[in-house]
Amino acid sequence: MEYAIGICLGLGLAASCGFRVFVPLLISNIASMAGVVNIGSGFEWMASWPAFAVFASATVAEIIAYYVPWLDNALDTIAIPLAAVAGSLLSLSFMTDLPPMIQWTLGIIVGGGSAAVIKTGASMARLKSSAFTAGFANWIIATLEHITSIVMSVLTVLIPIVMGIIALGVLGYFGYRLSLKKKTGPVKRG
């Protein structure tokens, strides 16, 4: 059962990284400092006050940046790999007591992969909004992403198994949408 809880915690928080990179890191930092969750060996630094200062500052900067027109789209280009790294880190930090090869493989594939897929899907929604509204509606998408990341992160800490299942559903939705986009990709002219 501990394995399942760790995997679901990692998956739920990694999926949250797909909406905002630093919110899940901050929430997991606060939850681990409060003793609600246990971070694995080697990742204790994530439950420290210096990490809190870094994650809180980065969270505020990220949230503000997504309200600056056109900066939000530019930020998405670097946020996709950052989300993958943050998702991997969070997954690895909660998948304790697994053999290292399994822990790292699951952390990278499940955590990093799910964060990258969700972030890519969310970025595409912002690009569509920019194209159709000249960026004027992007603040609505940014607000929905902020709320989703916060709620999903908090609920993952409180009810990890349920949120792990929900995260799989969210991942499936974004994966499906991206596969449709790939099938209907740009028209080639010859």
Mean pLDDT, rounded, for 154-167: 95
Q: Kindly report the pTM of this predicted structure.
A: 0.89
The confidence score (pLDDT) of residue 186 equals 58
Amino acid at 80: I
Higher-scoring residue by pLDDT: 6, 53: 53
Percent of the chain with pLDDT over 90: 67
Q: Which residues contact 164 (CB under 8 A, 6 or more apart)?
A: 4, 7, 8, 9, 11, 12, 156
pLDDT per position as a tens digit, 74-113:
888 899 999 999 999 999 999 888 889 999 999 999 999 9
Look at residue 20 and tell me whether its pLDDT is greater than 80.
yes
Pairwise CA distance, residues 104 & 69, whole Å: 37
Domain assignment present for residue 186? The answer is: no
Domain assignment present for residue 15? The answer is: yes
Q: How sure is the predictor about 43, in pLDDT bands with cuts at 50, 70 and 90?
A: very high
Our count of domains for the chain comes to 1
Domain assignment present for residue 43? The answer is: yes
Q: How sure is the predictor about 70, in pLDDT bands with cuts at 50, 70 and 90?
A: confident
Pairwise CA distance, residues 26 & 59, whole Å: 7
Range of the domain at 169: 2-181
Mean pLDDT, rounded, for 132-160: 93
Amino acid at 124: M
Domain assignment present for residue 188? The answer is: no
Q: How sure is the predictor about 156, in pLDDT bands with cuts at 50, 70 and 90?
A: very high
Look at residue 188 and tell me whether its pLDDT is greater than 60.
no
Pairwise CA distance, residues 28 & 87, whole Å: 12
Mean pLDDT, rounded, for 55-64: 96
Q: Measuring CA to CA, which residue among 93, 113, 112 is closest to residue 103? A: 93
Look at residue 190 and tell me whether its pLDDT is greater than 60.
no
DSSP at 46:
G
Domain assignment present for residue 187? The answer is: no
Domain assignment present for residue 106? The answer is: yes
Domain assignment present for residue 18? The answer is: yes
Domain assignment present for residue 73? The answer is: yes
Start-to-end CA span in the chain (Å): 56
